[in-house]
């Protein structure tokens, strides 16, 4: 029963006041900088005396606080207000194939507690789910944050997730209820579940370069290939939350490899860290040479990260493989740019280490499929939030679901 859990269905003055207070908090959270009474009154379309009253009540409630005065050209300097960073907290949990991360964020989305467990292995079993619950419980205690002040827990999990219902289709799918409902019952707080790719998109929209962009694509290229879509200023989730299934798209391509989805020729079989490992091994088998060969005894099971590093160090084979991948990715993205006409394309993930190589490759691929006008209108940038983006997204997920961010 925190500030955000009031039921505002009934129409009366008390609920109207509450709605306005909530709007003030939301405006302050979204603004990124502290605001004045006049600012807030304009934002919530009310008179200054009433706005003042609401703000004072929010201060008394410990939700917002004064934050100095604004330097102005002339006139009396207005007092600035912002949301108290310690008014409440969000918890974010990122469940990866190998490893699980737990984070507590304050209202300024600063990480105030973190614990990574690298020994965790994600399996579709009840025991694994129990381990997750246990891990979350232990860390909530360890973080020392008061339970009542946690607004909710955002869970990021790899695989397919139905955002609307909060069920995971890839893991923990044998529960009687949705994953989010199950965890809610176990942990006794709000729980929201989404997949890692969407959370990177959310982080990019909230903290990153897509902040004030209405239409953007966020590509996440690491061992897998993911895509987040922002259209009309909103993250696109689709009917079941499956939107962004980019890795299984079938574009023009030379390859015809079998994908885990059962189909042949999926983009992910050509463009992904996994695909890079495979094609590297193939090339070596076919007699080509690489610096990596001499450094390691075996050429099989070379992690794609090493191939990227080798490319950065000038290894010709690795450069050409990554270039080819980027080119194919660019062609595929070009089709999506035609379809959605985004102003911005953000490339994130582990491959961004090889910036120059991948950038040039994507660009030349894009030219082959993108119409000139949408191409000119679309800026290509690299993610600025780094590989930790997904984790920041888990915390942001709670605030987004509460509609205060």
Partner DNA sequence: TTTAATTTATAAAAAAAATTATAAACTTGC
Partner DNA sequence: GCAAGTTTATAATTTTTTTTATAAATTAAA
Reading the block at residue 202, the tokens are 């959310």
Pick between residue 11 and residue 286 the one whose CB is nearest to DNA: 11
Rounded distance between C-alpha atoms, residue 143 and residue 103, angstroms: 9
Reading the block at residue 255, the tokens are 């390859």
Residues numbered 160 to 199 that lie near a copy of itself (CB under 8 A) are 160, 169
Rounded distance between C-alpha atoms, residue 133 and residue 116, angstroms: 14
Q: Per rule CB under 8 A, is residue 245 in the interface with a copy of itself?
A: yes
Binding partner at 126 among DNA, a copy of itself, none, C-beta below 5 to 8 Å by kind: none
Pick between residue 292 and residue 329 the one whose CB is nearest to a copy of itself: 329
What 3-state DSSP class applies to 266? coil
Residues 81/27, Cβ–Cβ less than 8 Å: no
Return the H-helix or E-strand segment holding 217: strand 216-221
**Beta strands at 216-221 and 225-231: parallel, antiparallel or unpaired:** antiparallel
Binding partner at 261 among a copy of itself, DNA, none, C-beta below 5 to 8 Å by kind: a copy of itself
What residues are paired with 90 via a beta bridge?
105, 152
Give the shortest CB-267-to-a copy of itself separation in angstroms: 9
Rounded distance between C-alpha atoms, residue 205 and residue 333, angstroms: 19
Out of 77, 126, 355, 368, the only residue in the binding site for DNA (CB under 7 A) is 77
Pick between residue 295 and residue 367 the one whose CB is nearest to a copy of itself: 367
Out of 234, 282, 300, 356, the only residue in the binding site for a copy of itself (CB under 8 A) is 234
Q: How far is CA 246 from CA 250, 270, 357, in A?
A: 9, 12, 22
Give the shortest CB-12-to-DNA separation in angstroms: 3
Q: Per rule CB under 8 A, is residue 238 in the interface with a copy of itself?
A: yes
Q: Per rule CB under 7 A, is residue 17 in the interface with DNA?
A: yes
Task: Please name the residues in contact with 275: beta carbons below 8 A apart, sequence gap of 6 or more.
Answer: 257, 268, 269, 325
* Interface map 351-380 toward a copy of itself (x if CB under 8 A): -----------------xx-x-xx--xx--
Task: Please name the residues in contact with 136: beta carbons below 8 A apart, sequence gap of 6 or more.
Answer: 91, 93, 102, 153, 183, 187
Q: Per rule CB under 7 A, is residue 174 in the interface with DNA?
A: no
Total of residues contacting a copy of itself (CB under 8 A): 54
Q: How far is CA 291 from CA 53, 173, 297, 338, in A?
A: 70, 44, 12, 39
Residues numbered 81 to 140 that lie near a copy of itself (CB under 8 A) are none
Pick between residue 83 and residue 346 the one whose CB is nearest to DNA: 83
**Beta strands at 98-106 and 225-231: parallel, antiparallel or unpaired:** unpaired
**Beta strands at 35-36 and 79-83: parallel, antiparallel or unpaired:** antiparallel
Other beta carbons within 10 Å of 182: 19
Pick between residue 48 and residue 146 the one whose CB is nearest to DNA: 48
Q: Per rule CB under 7 A, is residue 13 in the interface with DNA?
A: yes
Q: Per rule CB under 8 A, is residue 16 in the interface with a copy of itself?
A: yes
Question: Which residues of this protein are in contact with DNA, per CB under 7 A?
Answer: 11-14, 16-17, 36-38, 46-50, 52-53, 69, 72-79
Residues making contact with a copy of itself (CB under 8 A): 11, 16, 19, 41-42, 45-47, 160, 169, 214-215, 227, 229, 231-232, 234, 236-246, 248-253, 261, 263, 265, 331, 334-336, 338-343, 368-369, 371, 373-374, 377-378
């Amino acid at each position: 029963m925190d500030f955000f859990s009031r039921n505002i269905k009934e129409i009366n003055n008390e609920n109207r006041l509450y709605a306005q207070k909530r709007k003030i908090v939301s405006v302050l959270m979204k603004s990124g900088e502290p605001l004045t009474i006049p600012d807030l009154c304009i934002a919530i379309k009310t008179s200054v005396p009433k706005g003042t009253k609401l703000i004072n009540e929010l201060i008394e409630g410990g939700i917002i606080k004064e934050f100095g005065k604004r330097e102005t050209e002339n006139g009396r300097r207005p007092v600035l207000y912002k949301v108290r960073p310690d008014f409440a907290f969000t918890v974010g949990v990122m469940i990866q194939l190998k490893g699980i991360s737990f984070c507590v964020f304050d209202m300024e989305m600063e990480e105030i507690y973190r614990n990574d467990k690298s020994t965790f292995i994600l399996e579709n079993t009840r025991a694994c789910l129990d381990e997750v619950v246990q891990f979350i419980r232990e860390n909530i205690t360890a973080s020392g944050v008061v339970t009542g002040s946690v607004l909710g827990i955002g869970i990021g999990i790899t695989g397919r997730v139905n955002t609307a219902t909060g069920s995971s289709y890839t893991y923990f799918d044998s529960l009687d209820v949705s994953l989010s409902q199950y965890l809610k019952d176990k942990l006794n707080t709000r729980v929201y579940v989404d997949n890692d790719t969407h959370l990177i998109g959310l982080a990019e929209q909230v903290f990153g370069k897509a902040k004030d962009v209405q239409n953007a694509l966020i590509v996440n290229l690491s061992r897998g290939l993911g895509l987040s879509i922002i259209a009309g200023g909103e993250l696109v989730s689709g009917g079941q939350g499956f939107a962004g299934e980019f890795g299984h798209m079938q574009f023009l391509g030379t390859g015809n490899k079998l994908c885990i989805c059962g189909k042949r020729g999926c983009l992910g079989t050509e463009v992904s860290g996994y695909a890079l490992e495979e094609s590297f091994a193939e090339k070596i088998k076919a007699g080509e040479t690489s610096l990596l060969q001499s450094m390691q005894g075996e050429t099989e099971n070379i992690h794609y990260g090493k191939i990227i590093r080798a490319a950065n160090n000038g290894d010709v084979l690795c450069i050409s493989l990554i270039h080819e991948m980027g080119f194919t990715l660019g062609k595929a993205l070009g089709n999506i740019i035609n379809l959605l006409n985004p102003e911005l394309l953000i490339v994130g993930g582990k491959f961004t280490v090889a910036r120059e190589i991948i950038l040039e490759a994507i660009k030349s691929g894009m030219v082959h499929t993108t119409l000139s006008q949408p191409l000119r209108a679309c800026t290509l940038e690299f993610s600025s939030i780094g590989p930790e983006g997904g984790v920041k997204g888990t915390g942001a997920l709670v605030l987004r679901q509460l509609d205060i961010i």
